[in-house]
Structure 1
Amino acid sequence: MQTLNGEKARLSNYRGQRVMVNFWATWCPPCRAEMPDMEKFHQDKEVVILAVNLTQTESGIMGVKDFVKEFNLTFPILLDEEIKVATNYQIRPIPSSFMIDSNGVIQFKSFGPLTSDMMVEEFEKMQ
């Protein structure tokens, strides 16, 4: 997928690292509530966060950029412009998150918002 910054990103590029993949949209109240905790988690732990925006559901890319600025997000925002990745992961409710260990294996799934404490707890269980 392409990032909001125009770069290309693949999950396989992060093999050997612990990764949180999060599916979200700007119009989703639980997603908005979760973002400050995700940023704190990103700042406090050595975790890669890939925040996959369901871009096709947005009114425009500027709204996504404004959201990132509003929440001071420093992790990569990936654009699922045709909802292909969300379909592959069988995403229904958002936010949905996956914790993937350094071997590329999904260790935890969450269908709904996570708190910072929940993120840290699941992260620390992984290798």
Structure 2
Amino acid sequence: MLSFNLGPLAISVAHALMLFALATALVAGKIAARRRDVPITDTLFNLALAGAVAARLVFVIRYFGEYRPVPLGILDIRDGGFDAIGGLLGMAAYASFVVWRRPALRAPLAAALIAGGLAWGLTGGALTLIEQQAASLPEAQLQTLDGRATDLATLQAEAEGRPMVVNLWATWCPPCRAEMPVLEAAQNERDDVLFVFANQAEAAPTIQRFLDSQDLHIDHVLRDAGGRLAKQAGSAALPTTLFYDGDGRLVDSHLGQLSRASLAAALERFERP
């Protein structure tokens, strides 16, 4: 399972585990502070904010070239562009400043950071197991817009084992529509990567009308008539983008709209040994 629905909200498992680690840190810090009768709630929230700002800032600096054409995209955190190491460094810097100014918070902050770190480590292990369960290529049967049957394994074999980006989308989904030009540009720029666009449960004429109306020229547009591909991949919401290496193993996934920067960051997974 890569994502799940919580009422009207779609949440990725990775983000849910991160929130769990943050909640654990807040609870541990408050308990430790109560024993020493020192206020810490605001400090803990500021610590989380410092980590988030630092994580975003480092990500933007790393991929500034991708944000340059649309500078306002820097403020749009819906693309999920955060740097984990930058966030940890930001939290460490803020915590160091706080304990220097207020030594009484040293023990509660240490308890919060240790508890949060342990929770993150344990949930990170759980996430790794989840990703391993969804690591192989889904076997769902797909159709081209002219009705020919195919599947992801066949497409990757025909592409001589290139890494593959599989975008799960629908024409009625605003974030899907918004990210299509980003994916189209990447397809034109990266001939070493196979891009597949698996439409979820819509008719071929509907898909073709959308592509024509948006003047999109993308290859490998397929129909997942019953939504089986999304179910097998563990996706509960659209858009979801899956990244498979040349051996058909899932190496990354992204829930929600991709920006040029977040897509570039995900594609780097294909270049790591």
TM over 0.5: yes
Paired AA for residue 269 in structure 2: K
Partner secondary structure for residue 149 of structure 2: coil
Paired AA for residue 162 in structure 2: Q
Paired AA for residue 170 in structure 2: A
1:51 maps onto 2:192 in alignment: no
Per-residue deviation, residues 43-71 of structure 1 (Å, max 9, x unmatched): 0112211111112xx4x432211112233
User: For residue 64 of structure 1, what is the aligned residue in structure 2?
Assistant: 207
Instruction: Work out the CA distance in 2 between the residues paired with 1:121 and 1:70.
Output: 30
Instruction: Work out the CA distance in 1 between the residues paired with 2:231 and 2:243.
Output: 18
1:75 to 219, 230, 254: 219
User: For residue 101 of structure 1, what is the aligned residue in structure 2?
Assistant: 245
> Taking structure 1 as the reference length, what is the TM-score of the superposition?
0.88
1:35 maps onto 2:180 in alignment: yes
Instruction: Work out the CA distance in 1 between the residues paired with 2:162 and 2:251.
Output: 13
User: How many aligned residue pairs are there?
Assistant: 124
> Taking structure 2 as the reference length, what is the TM-score of the superposition?
0.43
Partner secondary structure for residue 211 of structure 2: helix
1:90 maps onto 2:239 in alignment: no
User: For residue 6 of structure 1, what is the aligned residue in structure 2?
Assistant: 147
**Greater relative contact order: 1 or 2 (C-alpha under 8 angstroms, separation 6 or more)?**
1
CA RMSD of superposed structures (Å): 1.5
Instruction: Work out the CA distance in 2 between the residues paired with 1:67 and 1:49.
Output: 18
Partner secondary structure for residue 171 of structure 2: coil
Per-residue deviation, residues 5-63 of structure 1 (Å, max 9, x unmatched): 333332112142110011100000000001010100100112211111112xx4x4322
Larger radius of gyration: 2
Question: Is the Cα–Cα contact under 8 Å of residues 4 and 76 in structure 1 kept in the other structure?
Answer: no
Higher strand share: 1
Structure 1's consecutive aligned runs of 4 or more residues displaced over 2 angstroms after TM superposition are: 5-9
Higher helix share: 2
